[in-house]
Amino acid sequence: MKTFSGMRRAMVAAAALLLAASAGHAADIKERTLRFAFQSAKDHPIGVGAQKFADLVSQKSGGKISVKLFPNGTLGGDLQVVSALQGGVVDLTALSSGLLSGQVKEFVLFDLPFQFNNGREADAVVDGPIGRKLGEKLVDKGLVPLGYWELGFRNLTNSRHPVAKADDFKGLKIRVVQSPIYIDLFNILGANAVPMPFPEVYSALETKAVDGQENPLKSIELSKFYEVQPYLSLTRHIYSPLSILIGRKAWDKLSPDEQQIIRQAAAESQAYQRQFARAEDAKSLDVLKKSMKVAELPPAEVAKVRERIKPVVEKYAKDVGEPLMSELNAELAKVRGSGK
């Protein structure tokens, strides 16, 4: 019995060693730190999403992989950060998806004005075949897509007068993101569009270098634009999904197990971040109403704006291409028809 008992203990010990070796092989995770740069503050939905992602990566890697956050544009503007990802200087970012049109022209699809009526429609597009197709095109540009968060619907603020009619855009000097479609959009409405990195916006508004800017409500609140902008117009002119990206150089250094951790963390943070962003949007409007005069474009004025911007939509729809535009319109029709 003693011999049998000894053999059994030896077999159990051997099995344990084999399992440990197998587990060790399956979990090829190294100690490493990934740099995640973004333009907003840490308490913005982008920062909250980034922190959730960082926490999930740490948890899933047993604390071996650390994601260090660099908020407030400390590592440069969006376009600088994209270049840094491609060069391997920065590892991760989350930025308005339309800004990627400089890398893959079809990404301008996300910045076509008045394209989405609500977040549900946007989710169906970014989470479906269209979002995947566009993401795959980035890999050859040195960027690996991990999913989409939400920035939200963009609205206009300014320091000169309420914008409640299509003609009210005329003459306003408006800061816009560094993307051609934004410049063309506001110029055709009679404004003077000024492209500028986000970290420079508050100072430009304060010194009256520009009259106004356009951003989702949470960005307007947290950036305290209400201190230098008395007028808010709920134009909801563009919906901005956020692309979560890791640089190809950083990605290729990761083992398959590490890559799986990153993908799982991105997927789990996606649902969390979107829910948080949508809840915060409503809260921000309540806050801004206390400090700003809020106006909305009536349906008749929205129709006028849509008519005036048709040349811009048609111009950039050509970059998207007829097949993809048809696919987009079919997807939107399906979502709207479902009523869900």
pLDDT at 232 over 50: yes
pTM: 0.84
Average pLDDT over residues 330-337: 94
* % of the chain surpassing 70 pLDDT: 92
> For residue range 184-208, what is the model confidence (pLDDT) as tens digits?
999 999 999 999 999 899 999 999 9
pLDDT at 7 exceeding the cut of 90:
no
Q: Are strands 173-176 and 212-215 parallel, antiparallel or unpaired?
A: parallel
Q: Considering only CA atoms, which of 186, 227, 221 is closest in space to residue 203?
A: 227
pLDDT higher than 80, residue 244: yes
Residues ≥6 apart with Cβ < 8 Å to 156: 163, 174, 212, 213, 214, 232, 233, 235, 237
- Flag the least confident range among 5-19, 67-81, 284-298: 5-19
- DSSP, collapsed to helix, strand or coil, labels residue 35 as strand
> Residue 234: exposed, middle, or buried by beta-carbon count in 10 A (0-12, 13-18, 19+)?
middle
Given this structure, which CATH class describes domain 30-338?
A: alpha beta
Sequence letter at residue 255: S
Q: Other C-beta atoms within 10 Å of 303: how many?
A: 12
Query: Over 60: is that where the pLDDT of 8 sits?
Result: no
Given a cut of 80, whether residue 15 has pLDDT beyond it is no
First to last CA, the chain: 68
The three-state DSSP-derived secondary structure of 199-257 is: HHHHHHHHCCCCCEEEECHHHHHHCCHHHCCCEEEECCCCEEEEEEEEEHHHHHCCCHH
- Helix, coil or strand: residue 140: helix
Tens digit of each residue's pLDDT (9 = 90 or more) over 56-97:
999 999 999 999 999 999 999 899 999 999 999 999 999 999
Token pair of 200, please? 């420079």
Q: What is the pLDDT of residue 12?
A: 44
